[in-house]
Chains A and B, each alone.
Chain A
Amino acid sequence: MLLPDILIFSAFVFLPVVYAFWLSFHEAYFFSSQFQWVGLAHYNDILFHPLAEAAGIVVEEGPVAAYEFLTDPLRHPFLASLKNNVYFGLLSIPGSVIAGLGLALLVNTQLKGIKYIRTVYFLPVVTSMIVVALVFNFIYNPTYGLLNWLLTTTGILNDGVIWLADYPILAIVAMTIWKGAGYNMLLYLAALQGLPTEVYKAARIDGAGRIARFKNITWPLLKPTTLFIVVMTTIGSFKVFTQVYVMTEGGPGFKSTVAVYYIYEKAFGEYLMGEASAMSFVLFGIIFVVTVINMRYLNTDVEY
């Protein structure tokens, strides 16, 4: 009875992973039937050599120069693409937490019709990334886009901004936060509704105001949920692809080329399957480490 599942998983998950690992030690050009063994060469090129050189630069010129050397898209495009992922994460993690918690606090009431409001807030989550990205392309359009029009008519800006050219990562992150806010809202809402009311009553009697109650009770008690969202957002920020594909194609220049997009280009643009596989494993390593580190913190239970 388990056989079909085992077969599916073996054929489409386990086998490909093993195959990818094997590929990453080869020079594998998609259209040639002969794959050449190159050992660790790919890993050397994308990771070990640059790091070794950077270590030397740290000693000679200091860490800033080393960082610039490592993330120079002309020399180390893959590391440079990872830097874009890190930017993406640094912007989207606090953004997602704030948006999710803000919405949850807003909809955590008994008002009539709040169910419909929650549904509306959740719509971006179920709509496809392609559709949302295309709509935002239009919203961000410098000449006839909604955003520039809103900002210039309200006088916040004097002239329009070419969002996707000047601030591509920021624009994509803003859209991503908007899309995922409803999901994080639900997670927070479930947590909020499970909070013990006695503690709040006690705090009230002690004369704690709204802000004090939030700071000293709600926020600490929501820690597990926050950590869960941080982990998911971190992993998500290393997996970004569709938004970049649709909105900027990695541009302008190398500004918004993220790791998965770069791997995609390598594999299906240049057909260098071996190199692409090696990069995938480096990326997997990073995601794995991030997850493990987070998991260790995740199991901190709150006591009351």
Chain B
Amino acid sequence: MSLKTNPTDRIQRVKQRFDNETIGRTVHILALAVVATIMIGPFLYMFAVSLMKPGTVQQLPPKFIPSNPVKWGLHNYERVLTNFNFTRFLLNSLLVTSIVTVFNLFFDTLAGYVFAKLEFPGRKVLFMTILATLMIPSQITIVPLYILMDALGFINTYIGLTVPFAASAFGIFLMKQFIETIPSDLERAAMVDGCSRFEVFYKVIVPLSKPAMATLGIFTFIGTWNSFLWPLLIAQDQSMYTLEVALAQFQGRFEQDLTALMTGMTLTSIPVIILFVSLQKYYVQGIKLSGIKA
């Protein structure tokens, strides 16, 4: 190709490029839409079924659009919220998740501060030991933990559901990484002004650590809300079921009443989805932090 080209050729080439770009962009947007459909389809399906009249689910083709709007509606939600003890499970889930989240925010931030800012013998070893626990699959500890909880009489109690998860290695690591970036001069100034160590912690460190705490909070909340194996073992009475356990345990019973099951599932997912969408920024930060090479 020579460098000297006549203008009409150039116009042709620009046009050609423009066309290619438009085609490329259209294909791109189409691909995005198709994948979005695949990613969100199951959720829409779940939601659609939750609005159907019981007994119309087993129809083919599956109906996403109501043929008879009168038959559709929120009556399943009414049914589920009044008949199935659903509010009790919801409260259990909320209570357990809130307690675990608050515990973690407090203990992990405190430990993160100590590991980040205080010098004491054995600091490194202790921190490494705590990090090493991340390698241990929870399945190993679940059998002895269960025996322990049984011996202590914590089966079917909120203590058994929450206390074992009051601190997490991931949380301590996250908070330590963040608190290390806070300049030590601020603490020294506070110390000079006569603050105790603990006062420094909650007057200086905690206010400055809010973004990291938001990340930790949302991570812990979503993780606990969705946890299953432990609550399944501990909550043996129906009155102690969390939403996750209730859904799994009732799935057989709902074989004939899928609309109720899908309604329960929709209600279970809504809090997490709302939380995630509103605090997305902090959640994504957490992933980027955990995805770095340790």
Contact = CB atoms under 8 A, between A and B. Distances in A.
A134 interface: yes
12 contacts: A9-B169, A120-B39, A124-B39, A126-B283, A127-B226, A128-B225, A130-B226, A134-B248, A138-B258, A187-B287, A190-B291, A280-B143
Given A12-B163, A126-B276, A183-B287, A117 B62 contact: no
Pick the 7 closest A-B CB pairs, nearest first.
A128-B226, A19-B144, A16-B141, A16-B144, A12-B164, A5-B111, A280-B140
Contacts, number: 219
B287 to A, nearest CB: 5
Given A130-B228, A135-B46, A181-B39, A107 B32 contact: yes
A11 B144 CA distance: 11
Interface stretch (B5-13, B79-87, B129-137): B129-137
Interface residues of A, number: 81
B291 A131 contact: no
B167 A19 contact: no
Interface of A: 1-2, 4-6, 8-9, 11-17, 19-20, 23, 30, 103, 106-107, 109, 111, 117, 119-124, 126-132, 134-139, 143-144, 146, 149, 153, 178, 181-183, 186-187, 190, 224-225, 228, 238-239, 241-242, 245-246, 260, 263-264, 267-268, 273, 276-277, 280-281, 283-284, 287-288, 291, 298-299
Given A149-B60, A190-B291, A9 B133 contact: yes
Contacts of A6: 126
Interface of B: 25, 28-29, 31-32, 35-36, 38-40, 42-43, 45-46, 49, 57-62, 107-108, 110-111, 113-114, 118, 126, 130, 133, 135-137, 139-148, 163-167, 169, 172, 197-198, 201, 222, 225-226, 228-229, 233, 244, 247-248, 251, 258, 261-262, 265, 268-269, 272-273, 276-277, 280, 283-284, 287-288, 291, 293
Contacts of A246: 248, 251
Given A13-B133, A138-B258, A187-B287, A146 B140 contact: no
A118 to B, nearest CB: 9
A114 to B, nearest CB: 8
Contacts of A238: 137
Contact of A119 (B45, B201, B228, B277): B277
Contacts of B35: 103, 106, 121
Contact of A134 (B114, B118, B136, B247): B247
A121 B39 contact: yes
Given A117-B36, A124-B39, A4 B272 contact: no
Nearest to B25: A111
A127 B247 contact: no
A20 B143 contact: yes
B144 A23 contact: yes
B136 A241 contact: no
A239 to B, nearest CB: 6
Given A123-B43, A126-B222, A20 B107 contact: no
B202 to A, nearest CB: 12
B269 to A, nearest CB: 5
B48 to A, nearest CB: 10
A243 B87 CA distance: 25
B272 A284 contact: no
Given A187-B287, A246-B248, A277-B143, A109 B28 contact: yes
A134 B225 CA distance: 17
Contact of A186 (B31, B57, B244, B284): B284
A14 B126 CA distance: 12
B31 to A, nearest CB: 6
A106 B280 CA distance: 20
Pick the most buried of B35, B46, B229: most chain A CB atoms within 10 A of its CB.
B35
A222 to B, nearest CB: 13
A5 B42 CA distance: 41
A148 B169 CA distance: 44
Nearest to B110: A1
Nearest to A277: B143
Contact of B136 (A132, A273, A284): A284
B273 A8 contact: no
Contacts of B146: 267-268
Contacts of B163: 8, 12
Contact of B143 (A9, A23, A136): A23
Pick the most buried of A131, A132, A134, A137: most chain B CB atoms within 10 A of its CB.
A131
A178 B276 contact: no
Given A128-B268, A130-B247, A178-B39, A138 B49 contact: yes
